[in-house]
Each structure stands twice: as C-alpha cells, then as structure tokens.
C-alpha cells in the first residue's frame, strides 16, 4: 500500500510538472493503473535486478497510460521497461520492442549481470519475464538491429501508429543520433519521445545527440528530465 501511494504521488507529481494535469489532477485518467504498475514493479524486482531507476519506470508507466496508440521501444534488454509499460496499457494496444538480443551466455566478467546469462540467453529472459507477467499479447519482441527494423517499418504498408517511443539502445553519439533520425518521423503528433541516460556520465553521446537534434527540429520540445530520462513531445504544427 505504501509503495502504491508512492507511485501514485510520483505519478501525479510528474504529470503536474509536464503540465498534463493541473492542481486538481483533473486530467488524470480515471483508469490510471497505479495498482498494475505497482504489481509489475514488484514482480520484475523478484525476477532479477532492475536496470532502470524506479522513478523512471513510473514516468514510463504514466506516459504509457496517457497515450492511446502503440509503443515502440529500442533496447529491451530483459524486458523490464516493456513490462512496466505493458502494465499501464489496455489490451488493444501493442508494444514493439526491438533488440539485437546478442548478449552471450558468458557475458563479460565486468558486469554484475553476468550470472543471469548462465542458464538463459537474453531473449529467453525477456520472454520468461514477459510471460510470467501475462503480457504475451501486449509485447512483441523484435530480434533485430534498430537500423534494420526502422527500414522494415518504413516499408510497411500498414505501419502501426506510435505515440510513445522509448529509445534505450545504442548509447553512443552515432547510434543514438541514428535511432533518433530513424524513429522520430514515425512518432504521431502530440506523441512522446523518451530517451534514457540523457545525463549519464557514462554515455555523453546521448545528450550530445539529443541536444543537436532538438535544436534543429522545432516540432520537438523537451518537457522534462526525470533522473536520466528526458521526455520530449512532438508538438502539433499549430501549437
């Protein structure tokens, strides 16, 4: 209950800072799925360590709950962020999460996640996590390089509409720039682009790419930075 209230408080606070809700929280959706997000949050904690800050997960959950169309995620890892967003959306919406899923079973000794890949590969973990939470129908994992998947989507006649795009894949300047250039045109007007590790000292290329692109495209406006998650809106042309 305490965790639920914290999530609720954070959710309201963040929405208010975005200007999405007023003091009275009038625009907060009546079906804001606090309980679902909370349950998923606790579940993924039990499955294996989380890679994203809890507050960032709340933001993703809030954005997933206030958007209406499909969600695109670049960088799935073990499916945590996909599951958080899945817990906040209705069953008629889908999350497409692209990842190379190439982390080998005997991943570098340097990482604390090394033990995870002893028995299961990355895609096996993501699938296990998704299925354990019952999100099979909401989350589609796409095993591909983000560049190739963007090309595939561009050529698709009935491409799904996306009003939330979360980019958390290649954190180099070149990789981030390339993903932004590829996927930003696929975002619906009024939709949100969310970039992870914007202010991470480990990934200076992310901020460089984001700042460069945002300064050169007036239809995209930075709304808010929560931990290392930067939320950007694609404005309607007349707004």
Ligand X SMILES: C[S@@+](CC[C@H](N)C(=O)[O-])C[C@H]1O[C@@H](n2cnc3c(N)ncnc32)[C@H](O)[C@@H]1O
Q: In whole angstroms, give the CA distance from residue 55 to residue 78.
A: 18
Axis-axis angle for helices 34-47, 2-18 (nearest 10): 120
Q: Cβ closer to ligand X: 140 or 219?
A: 140
Q: Is the dihedral of CA 201, 207, 150, 129 positive or negative?
A: positive
Q: Cβ closer to ligand X: 75 or 205?
A: 75
Minimum gap (Å) between residue 135 Cβ and ligand X? 13
Strand arrangement of the beta sheet that strand 187-195 belongs to:
139-143, 95-99, 70-74, 162-167, 187-195, 229-234, 220-226
Q: Cβ closer to ligand X: 18 or 149?
A: 149
Phi, psi of 228 (to 5 degrees): -110, 15
Cβ-based neighbours of 212, under 8 Å, separated by 6 or more: 177
Rg (CA), the chain: 17
Minimum gap (Å) between residue 40 Cβ and ligand X? 12
8-state DSSP, 160: P
Q: Cβ closer to ligand X: 38 or 40?
A: 40
Q: Cβ closer to ligand X: 80 or 183?
A: 80
Minimum gap (Å) between residue 145 Cβ and ligand X? 4
Q: In whole angstroms, give the CA distance from residue 174 to residue 199.
A: 17
Minimum gap (Å) between residue 183 Cβ and ligand X? 11
Query: What does the binding site for ligand X look like in residue numbers (CB under 6 A)?
Result: 51-52, 75-77, 80-81, 98-100, 102, 145-146, 168-170, 175
Minimum gap (Å) between residue 217 Cβ and ligand X? 22
Minimum gap (Å) between residue 184 Cβ and ligand X? 16
Q: In the bound complex, which residue of the shown chain has the CB atom lying closest to ligand X?
A: 75
Q: Cβ closer to ligand X: 47 or 223?
A: 47
Tokens of residue 170, six digits:
């290649």
């Amino acid at each position: 209950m305490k965790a639920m209230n914290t999530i609720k408080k954070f959710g309201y606070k963040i929405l208010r800072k975005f200007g999405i809700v007023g003091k009275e929280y009038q625009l907060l959706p009546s079906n804001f799925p606090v309980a679902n997000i909370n349950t998923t949050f606790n579940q993924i904690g039990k499955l294996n360590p989380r890679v994203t800050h809890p507050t960032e997960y709340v933001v993703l959950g809030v954005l997933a709950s206030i958007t209406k169309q499909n969600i695109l995620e670049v960088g799935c890892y073990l499916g945590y962020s996909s599951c958080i967003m899945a817990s906040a959306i209705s069953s008629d919406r889908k999350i497409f999460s692209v990842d190379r899923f190439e982390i080998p079973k005997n991943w570098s000794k340097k990482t604390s996640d090394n033990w995870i890949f002893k028995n299961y590969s990355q895609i096996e973990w993501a699938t296990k996590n998704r299925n354990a939470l019952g999100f099979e129908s909401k989350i589609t994992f796409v095993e591909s390089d983000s560049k190739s998947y963007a090309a595939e989507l561009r050529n698709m006649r009935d491409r799904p509409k996306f009003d939330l795009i979360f980019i958390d894949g290649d954190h180099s300047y070149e990789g981030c720039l390339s993903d932004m250039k590829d996927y930003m045109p696929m975002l619906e007007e009024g939709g949100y682009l969310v970039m992870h590790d914007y202010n991470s000292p480990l990934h200076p290329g992310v901020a460089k790419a984001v700042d460069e692109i945002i300064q050169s495209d007036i239809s995209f406006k930075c709304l808010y930075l929560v931990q290392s998650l930067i939320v950007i809106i694609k404005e309607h042309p007349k707004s």
